[in-house]
Structure 1
Amino acid sequence: MRQCNLKKINVSNISEEDLDLLIQELVVEFPRCGEKMIKELLVEKTAIQVTRSRIRESLHRIDEIGIKDRKKRRLHRRIYNVDGVNHIWHIDSNHKLIRWNFIVLGGIDGFSRFVTFLNCRDNNKATTVLDSFKTAVVNYGLPLRVRSDKGQENSLVADFMIKERGPNRGSMITGKSCHNQRIERLWRDVFEGVLCYYYDLFHFMEEECFLDISDDNKMYALHHVFLPKINEKLSVWAQAWGKHRIRTAKSSPLRLFTAGMINNPTDFDILDIGNYGTEGNYEDNFNDYDGIQDTRPILDSRAFSVNEICQEELNLHCPRNWASSYYGIDIYHQAVQIIERNS
């Protein structure tokens, strides 16, 4: 490994004037850098090392406006502040496969990170989201609160929560997607674990001219063949996720959720409803972000259907539990042939 010959020189007696001149040059060259980076840049460019307090004092002398500007863009670390299981669920929809009319709906318990529902649908209408949410409620109980973004697909869940848990208590908390980090972080793992496989597969099928998203026959065949498989893999992945060990908690989501359910969650007062159930980095007076809205479109199911005879033939020759050595492409081709023959 090549080593740098430049040595750090501790200069404790450098004058304020000389230090200000050096830092002024760095501020001009790196206007967005704060005191930590300026300190390191000073070493890299001049081999002069001074204390961070002297850097801070110098910056206040020569770059007061820059300091105020950087404070506006400062990222703060918010500590997650949920006290128990089923105190809050985070819900959202994932659109990584939206090109092929697949939308993944998900919910996660904020305290334990246990996945309460995870399924793939061909639309994200409010009724569809509510159906998935209610199924999870039957299985795991009604949460005290739900956090989501401001997408219209969550409107019926909001009505349901307000009806069941009451108004004016934060039964449904909406905000920016960046404040819904529990579910946003989960989507990264879901994509790596399940969705990326189909993302690459469907792109490959398009590149090889097997699939045309404007062809109703081929899109119907795609959904008939792959929608059950996607849901099957999502179910298996969610079960495995529930048993994996969380490093910070030294336990698994399933164990945390089960132990919390035994303790019977109770309601409690929240002083700051808007920030309840948030974590990670957030912007403080960052006006550039405030204008961003969650404006995802509502996607309906494709208005295409096959006759009863065709559907029976599809179920017979392309069943849900199909097995293939060609990633399911051969089953898809067979489904397309059946649909075209019966159309």
Structure 2
Amino acid sequence: MDSERVMFCPFCGEHMSRLTRFCFSCGRSLECLNGADQTDRVDMLQQCIRYFNEGHSYAVIVDMMSCLHGFQISLRSLKSKLNEAGLYRRKYYSATNAIMRAIQLELRGPGQLFGYRTMCQVLKQKHNLRVKRDHVMNLLRELNTRGCERRSRRRFVRRTYHSMGPNYMWHADGYDKLKPFGLAISGCIDGFSRKVMWLACGPTNNDPSVIAYYFLSCVRNLGVTPMRLRTDCGTENGTMAAIQSTLRHYHNDYFSGASSHMYGSSTNNQRIESWWSIFRKGRSQFWMDLFADLRDAGYFNGSHEHQCLLRYSFGDIIQKDLDECVRLWNSHRIRPSRTASCPGGVPNELYYLPYRFGSRDCGFKVERAELDAFPEARLLRAPCGDTSMQEYLDLAMENSHLQKPECWQSATELYLKLKETAEL
């Protein structure tokens, strides 16, 4: 039966009808397979070769064979078997031409990012080559000079952002860091000029009609719609996407119609996401800390009533702060960046005077009659987010002769007084 059993080479995997002294395919010696139970010996030798190629020490291979596979083998027997198979730690290294061919093959794909340590492991385990680490390091310097220089600088190479000009791509997104306190922010930025198109605070940024209102108001004020609009996949963007596609339906460029809107993940919507990071450092962190202090002091518990009260007291103040933030941002100077093809400069200048920077306006003119054809998108009737709560707080303000706040300090005082009046 043993003589009829189909065998295969543990080195190249080639099937053999009978056991011979050498493999017909790779030419390796098979003397190490001589013994009673050929199948077990082949399996044991294959595992030993695999662990040897992975770089484990002889002692570790012995323990792995015992613990994981149930093969009891001594250290001396292991070395003898590997030596019979022509496997040595510091002998019989592969030819340089074979190593270079394998490296060049790897450099065609993700291997161009490998350092010499990872490349050594790939050559040993994937290509079954015996290599020296220093030899691989020198070959990589010769075959992948730019990759070695980039890794030596230890710098992450980012993709370059491309934009043809202002109104080529608008990036819209919601900002949820203040949502635990009942304040939802929506914003949009032009990819080329980095001009903030709108930045609005309200009870929600998940209502499609609210987001559509922001978009239509911006388009109406500017008189243009962008060539492309990019958002994440949230349902709140559906109405805005439909309006953008409708406004671009009769144009005949490549991105006309439905192609004028682009869905994507938030992490890839890089222009607005990177701006949110700047916004937090320069603006929203103050409000997050202020409201967190109110919560820690026991004046805010996150309930619907407390959120409505906080929006009623701070909503106008925060919107004024957002308007100031937009005004300052759109008039400040941005330094040139190596990770973007867009020029540096003042956002308003980049947006309104693109010819000064070798670009052009990519937007499309929109008539007011076209915008009036859409169903009226509107903000929520109650700024605090609850009609009954809005009426109650307006009445409390009138009866208590309270004034609208002018700054965050007076807004805090108003919040505490209204909270005491409402017994919340």
TM-score norm. by structure 2 comes to: 0.54
Structure ID, larger Rg: 2
Preserved contact between residue 314 and residue 338 of structure 1 (Cα < 8 Å): no
Task: Say which of 252, 258, 269 aligns to 2:352.
Answer: 258
Preserved contact between residue 166 and residue 354 of structure 2 (Cα < 8 Å): yes
Partner-residue secondary structure (3-state), 1:139? helix
Q: CA deviation at 1:157?
A: 0.6
Partner of 1:186: 275
- Go from structure 1 to structure 2 and tell me whether the alpha carbon gap of 1:33 and 1:317 turns closer, same or farther (over 3 Å shift): farther
Partner-residue secondary structure (3-state), 1:170? helix
- Go from structure 1 to structure 2 and tell me whether the alpha carbon gap of 1:99 and 1:323 turns closer, same or farther (over 3 Å shift): closer
Partner of 1:94: 175
Task: Say which of 143, 147, 154 aligns to 2:226.
Answer: 143
CA deviations on 1:10-68 (whole Å, 9 max, x unpaired) are xxxx99959x9xxxxxxxxxxx99534849xxxxxxxx977855247999xxxxxxxxx
Preserved contact between residue 35 and residue 55 of structure 1 (Cα < 8 Å): no
Partner of 1:319: 404
User: C-alpha separation between the residues in 2 aligned to 1:122 and 1:308?
Assistant: 16
Q: CA deviation at 1:256?
A: 0.5
Partner-residue secondary structure (3-state), 2:174? strand
Partner of 1:231: 319
- Which letter maps to 2:353? A
User: C-alpha separation between the residues in 2 aligned to 1:16 and 1:139?
Assistant: 76
User: C-alpha separation between the residues in 1 aligned to 2:296 and 2:227?
Assistant: 47
Q: CA deviation at 1:303?
A: 4.4
Q: CA deviation at 1:306?
A: 3.0
Q: Which has the higher contact order (CA 8 A, sep 6+)?
A: 1
Preserved contact between residue 174 and residue 187 of structure 2 (Cα < 8 Å): yes
TM-score norm. by structure 1 comes to: 0.65
User: C-alpha separation between the residues in 2 aligned to 1:215 and 1:128?
Assistant: 20
Preserved contact between residue 182 and residue 310 of structure 2 (Cα < 8 Å): no
Instruction: List gaps (5 residues or longer) in structure 2.
Output: 1-89, 97-110, 119-132, 145-155, 250-255, 337-342, 365-383
- Which letter maps to 1:251? G
Question: Any residues of structure 2 matched to 1:118-137 within 5 Å, and which?
Answer: 118-124=199-205, 125-137=207-219
- Go from structure 1 to structure 2 and tell me whether the alpha carbon gap of 1:212 and 1:33 turns closer, same or farther (over 3 Å shift): farther
- Which letter maps to 2:263? T
Q: Percent of counterpart pairs with the same letter? A: 26
Q: CA deviation at 1:115?
A: 0.2
Q: Are 1:35 and 2:114 an aligned pair? A: yes
Task: Say which of 416, 419, 424 aligns to 1:333.
Answer: 416
CA deviations on 1:113-155 (whole Å, 9 max, x unpaired) are 0000001111120001111111111223321210111111100
User: C-alpha separation between the residues in 1 aligned to 2:116 and 2:298?
Assistant: 51
Task: Say which of 141, 145, 156 aligns to 2:239.
Answer: 156
Partner of 2:11: none
User: C-alpha separation between the residues in 2 aligned to 1:307 and 1:91?
Assistant: 29
Preserved contact between residue 172 and residue 189 of structure 2 (Cα < 8 Å): yes
Partner of 2:45: none
CA deviations on 1:68-91 (whole Å, 9 max, x unpaired) are xxxxxxx97432221111111110
Q: CA deviation at 1:242?
A: 0.8
Partner-residue secondary structure (3-state), 1:336? helix
Partner-residue secondary structure (3-state), 1:206? helix
Question: Any residues of structure 2 matched to 1:198-213 within 5 Å, and which?
Answer: 198-213=287-302
After superposing the two structures, state which structure 1 stretch, 330-339 or 200-209, moved more.
330-339
Preserved contact between residue 116 and residue 140 of structure 2 (Cα < 8 Å): no
Partner of 1:271: none
Task: Say which of 166, 183, 199 aligns to 1:85.
Answer: 166
Instruction: List gaps (5 residues or longer) in structure 1.
Output: 1-13, 21-31, 40-47, 60-74, 269-300
Preserved contact between residue 196 and residue 326 of structure 2 (Cα < 8 Å): yes
Preserved contact between residue 201 and residue 319 of structure 2 (Cα < 8 Å): yes
What is the count of residue pairs matched by the alignment? 262
- Go from structure 1 to structure 2 and tell me whether the alpha carbon gap of 1:215 and 1:182 turns closer, same or farther (over 3 Å shift): closer
